[in-house]
Amino acid sequence: MESYVSVNLKKDEILIKLSDKILYEKVVDSLTKKIPDLKKFYKKATLPIRVSGRVLKKEEIKEIESIIKKEIDVEIIFDVAEDLGLHSIKKAYEKDTEETETRFYKGSVRSRTKN
């Protein structure tokens, strides 16, 4: 089975990266299967967990936080859409469009402002 969740140990945190290429339900299922292994690590560690890689709705954040907190009592930080920066712009450009009002111009575009 393919994993839609990666767990990486960073210097000051644990990074859980969720795939944005698959349905949310499959990501949750994959995360649920990884938590027991992560729990073994947390017997001694106290590093916070950062969840990233996917734009999540508020109820999805609560669900993922609940899944992790049920097994591991640790601080959880979520990267929200504003933190992810160009993520939403990238998704907009990946959409297929049949018709657009966008015009392409090849050459220099200059502004003629008066002082």
pLDDT tens per residue, range 3-52: 789 888 888 888 999 988 889 999 999 999 998 888 887 766 678 999 98
Residue at 7: amino acid letter: V
Tell me which fold the domain 5-88 belongs to: Transcription Regulator spoIIAA (3.30.750)
Domain boundaries, the chain: 5-88
> What is the value of pTM for the model shown?
0.66
**Average pLDDT rounded to a whole number, residues 85-114:** 65
pLDDT of residue 47: 85
Helix H or strand E encompassing 9: strand 5-9
CB atoms within 10 A of CB 33: 12
CA proximity to 50, closest of 91, 88, 6, 89? 6
**Both structure tokens of 73:** 């009592």
Of 59 and 92, the structure prediction assigns the larger pLDDT to 59
The whole-number average pLDDT for the span 98-113 is: 72
pLDDT band at 93 (very low <50, low <70, confident <90, very high): low
